[in-house]
Structure 1
C-alpha cells in the first residue's frame, strides 16, 4: 500500500493510503488459497473446490477482511517506521466509500495527533520536604476515647427517668393493621437505641420521653415502597410496653477494652493505636509531598501538548465539577457544559504531568504486579458485600475498569521512583499543622 504524508504541523499528522484493486484482489486470492485445502462443498472432494467457485461464494466477505487487514498493516508499519505514538485512536476514513465498487482502487485517509517527545529530566536538583508527625499521648488518648465510645454499653437510668435520643429502651411490642396483628410485627425484650433509625420513620421519635413500665401506642405509616406488599402504605399501631430505659455509658479504658479489640492489654492497644495514627499521618504527609513534587515537575519541563487530549480532559473536568455543583442531577440530560479558561489550564497541567509520568514510568520499567492489582480489586470489592465474586468477574472482563484501577497504582510507583532521586529533607510538625497542609491541597 502506498502511503503519502499530507500534513505534518506540530503534533498533527495526516496521511493518504492507496491500495490498488490488484493488491486487493491478490489479498483475496491469497486468503482463498490458504483456506482451499479445508473447504468442502457438495459435488467436490475436500480441498478440490475450484478457486473461481470459492471466489464467487466467499469473495465478497473476504474482500472486506482484506481491506481491513491492509489498512491495519499499513498503520502498524507506519507507526513502527516513524516512531510516532498516537495520542488517541487515529481517525481512518475511506474516501468515496459510498461510490466504491469491487474493482476500484481504495483510498484511505488517516489523521491523528502524535504524542510529543518528552525531554530528559534531572531530578538530583529537585528539593522536597517530607512532613513527619509523631503520635503524642494526647492523640493516642483521643483515639482510645473514640474506641471506648464505639464499645459503649448501657446502664439503667434512675427510676422514672424519661428516655432521650441516644438512650436505649428495652421493650415488648405488637404491631397491628386494622386491629389485626401481622407477621413479623411483634417482639419481646427488644433493645432499641433511639435515633438509630432502626425502625421505620417516625417510630423512634414517638418513644422519646417514655419511662420504664409505661404503655404507649405508636402510630406510623409504612412507606409506599416497603418490602412487604401487604404493609406498604398501610397505617399501623404498635402497642409498646417499656421495660427499661438505659443511658449510654462509654467503656472503661483498661485491659478489658483492649481485649475487646484483640490486644493483650492496654499497653499493647496503645502501641497499636500509636502505629495506626502514625501510618495515617504518613499517608497524609505523602499526599502533601506528592503535590510538592507535581508542582515542581509542572514547571521543570515543557513540551507541546496534543490538543485533543487537553480538550477531552477539560471537558471531563468541567462535567465533573458541574455535577458536584448539581448533586441532584444523576444523568447526562443537561445542556452542553463549556470548559472555562480555568478548566483548560487545569487540563493542560494534568495532561502534561500524565504524559511525563507515563514516560518516566516506561523508561524506569515500572510495572503494576498481579498481586498489586488483586489487592486493588479486593479493596474495591469490599464495597459490595456478598457480591465480591461477581465484582471480580466484572473486572476481569472489563479492560477499562482494569485500567482505572491500575493507573493510580502505576502513578504512585512512578512518584516513589522520582522521590528516590530527589533531595528530600524531613520536618517534624504537629497534627494540626499537617491537617492544615492537607486542607490547603483541597482548596487549590
Structure 2
C-alpha cells in the first residue's frame, strides 16, 4: 500500500493511503483460493468450484474483508515503522466515496500521536515522608468518643423536663377517629427524642414533658406509610411519661472494651493505637504522593495530545460543576464552560498520567488478578444485595475494569518511584499532620 504523509504538526498526524485495485484483487483471489477446497456448490464437487464462479458468488463479501484487512495491516505496519502510538482511536475514512470495483482505494488516516516521554532520574528525587505516632492523648480522645457513642441514660433530677437527645420511657395508645389500632400501643417504650425512629412530628412534641405527665401527641401518618389503612390519616397518641433520662457517656473500662469486641481496656487501647497509626500513615502517604507528583511534574516537559487535554479539561469542569450544584443529579444542565484553570489542571493530569504509564511500563509494573478481585469486592460493597450483578457488570465492561485498575497501577508506580528516590523520614504530631493535610488540600 502506498502511504503519503499529509500532516505533521506537533503530535497531529495525517496520511493518505492508496490500496491499488490490482493488489486488492490479488488479495481477494488469494482468500478465495484459500477457501476453495472447502466450498461445495450444486453441480460441482467439493473443492472443484471454478475460481470465476466463486468470485461471482462470494466476491463482494470477500472484497469487503480484504479491504478491511489491508487497511488494518497497513496501519499496523505504519505504527511499527514510525514507532508511534495513537493517543485515541485513529480516524480512518475512505476518501473516494464514489469508489467502484476496479478503482484504487484511497484511505485518509489521521490521529494524534502519544509523545516521546523523556527519561527521569528518579534517584535525584528528594522526598520527605511524614511519620506520626498515636500518643496517649490521641488514644484517650478516641476512647472518649467511643464511650459517647456507647452512651447510657440516667434518670434526670425529679421534676426535670425532657430535652432533645433525652430518653423518655412511655406507655402509649394510638387512636384514629377515636379507635385504637393494631400496633399503635406499647408499654415502657424507651424513646430517644430526636432519634427519628417514630412518625415525623411525634418526638418533637415530647420535648419538655415530666415524669407522670400525660401528653396527647397528634400526628399525621405519611401518605406513603407502609400500612395502607393508616396512610395519610391523623392519629392521636395518649402518652404517659414514666421516666425522663439524660444521656451519659459509658464508663471507660473493661466492659466498654468488650462492647467493641476487645478482651479488656488494654487490648482496646492497643487496637485504637494501631488504627490511628494506620490512619496517620494513610494521610502521610497522600502527602508523600503529592510531593512525588509535584517533583515529577517539575522535572518533565513534553508536548501533550490536544484531544487528551481537551477531554480531561471538560471532565474536570463537569465534575467541579456538579460539586458546586449537588442538587443536579443528571446531565440536563446548561453547557459548562472550560476555563483556563481547568485546562491547566488537565495538562498536569495528562502529563503525569503519561509519565506514570511510561515509568510503570519500563519497570514492568503489573496489577495482579488478586488485586483486581479485591478492588472489585471493595467496590461491590457499595451495592449491598446486588454484589453478584456488580461483578457481572465489571466482567462485561472493559472500561469499568480499567477504572478499577488505574488507581492500583498508579499507586504501585508511586511505590516504585519512592523506592528509588532519596527519602527522609520526619516525625511530627497528629496536629502537625492534620495541618499538612489541610495545606495540601488548600493548594
- TM (norm. structure 2) is 0.91
Q: Which residue is equivalent to 1:394?
A: 393
CA distance in 1, matches of 2:189, 2:35: 76
CA 1:95/1:138 → structure 2, altered by over 3 Å: closer, same or farther? same
Structure 2: distance between partners of 1:274 and 1:253: 16
**Counterpart of 2:278?**
279
- Which residue of structure 2 aligns with residue 328 of structure 1? 327
Distance 1:245 1:343, change over 3 A: same
Structure 1 residues 196 and 49: CA distance shift in structure 2, 3 A: farther
**Aligned twin of 1:76:** 76
Residues in 1 aligned to 2:219 and 2:38: alpha-carbon distance in whole angstroms = 76
After TM superposition, give the deviation of residue 111 of structure 1 in Å. Answer: 0.8
5 Å matches for 1:145-294?
145-179=144-178, 184-294=183-293
Deviations 1:401-438 (A, max 9, x none): 11111111111111111111111112211211111110
Q: How far apart in 1 are the matches of 2:407 and 2:357?
A: 11
User: Which residue is 1:340 aligned to?
Assistant: 339
Is 1:85 the counterpart of 2:79 in the alignment?
no
Deviation digits for residues 191-245 of structure 1 (CA, Å, limit 9, x no counterpart): 3322122233222212222334444333333334445555444434344444433
- Aligned residue in 1 for 2:435: 436
Give the TM-score of the pair, scaled to structure 1. Answer: 0.91
Shift of 1:152: 1.8
Pairwise CA distance, 1:186? 4.7
Query: Alignment partner of 2:426: what SS?
Result: strand
Q: Which residue of 2 aligns with 1:384?
A: 383
Q: Per the alignment, in what secondary structure is the counterpart of residue 122 of structure 2?
A: coil
Instruction: Tell me which residue corresponds to 2:309.
Output: 310
Cα distance in structure 1, aligned partners of 2:399 and 2:174? 50
Distance 1:178 1:68 in 2: 79
CA distance in 2, matches of 1:183, 1:292: 64
Matched, 1:121 2:120: yes
- Shift of the 138–34 alpha-carbon distance from structure 1 to 2, 3 Å rule, reads same
- Once the 2 structures are TM-superposed, how far is the Cα of residue 309 of structure 1 from its aligned partner? 1.0
Which piece of structure 1 moves more, 69-78 or 117-126? 69-78
> 1:133 aligns to what?
132
Q: Secondary structure at the match of 1:124?
A: helix
Q: Which moved more, 1:352-361 or 1:248-257?
A: 248-257
1:13 Cα deviation from its structure 2 partner? 0.9
Partner of 2:350: 351
Could you say if the C-alpha distance between residues 51 and 433 of structure 1 is closer, same or farther in structure 2, counting changes exceeding 3 Å?
same
1:88 partner SS: coil
C-alpha separation in 1, matches of 2:422 and 2:431: 26
Q: Distance in 1 between matches of 2:16 and 2:184?
A: 76
> What CA distance in whole angstroms lies between the structure 2 residues aligned with 1:178 and 1:40?
87
Considering only aligned residues, what root-mean-square deviation do their CA atoms show, in Å? 2.6
* 1:19 maps to 2:51: no
Distance 1:193 1:45 in 2: 90
| Higher mean displacement: 57-66 or 136-145 | 57-66
Matches of 1:41 and 1:162 in 2, distance apart?
A: 99
- Identify if the C-alpha distance between structure 1 residues 421 and 231 changes in structure 2 by more than 3 Å, giving closer, same or farther: same
Quote the residue 2:360 is aligned against: 361
Tell me the distance in 2 between the aligned counterparts of 1:49 and 1:232.
79
Distance of 1:237 and 1:33 partners within structure 2: 90
**Structure 1 residues 217 and 95: alpha-carbon distance in aligned structure 2, compared to 1, 3 A threshold:** farther
Pair 1:15–1:247, CA change in 2 (3 A): same
SS at match of 2:287: helix
Could you tell me how far apart the structure 2 residues matched to 1:233 and 1:48 are? 83
In structure 2, C-alpha distance between the alignment counterparts of 1:365 and 1:12, rounded to whole Å: 29
Shift in Å, 1:153: 2.3
Q: Distance in 2 between matches of 1:186 and 1:42?
A: 87
List gaps (5 residues or longer) in structure 2: none
The equivalent residue for 1:100 is 99
Structure 2 vs 1, CA of residues 45 and 304 (structure 1 numbering), >3 Å: closer, same or farther? Answer: same
How far off its partner does 1:116 sit?
Answer: 1.0
Mapped to 1, the partners of 2:62 and 2:238 lie a distance apart of: 78
Report the more deviating stretch, 368-377 or 138-147.
368-377
Cα deviations across residues 329-385 of structure 1 (Å, max 9, x unaligned)?
Answer: 222222322221111111111111111111111111111111111221222122222
Unaligned runs of 5+ in 1: none
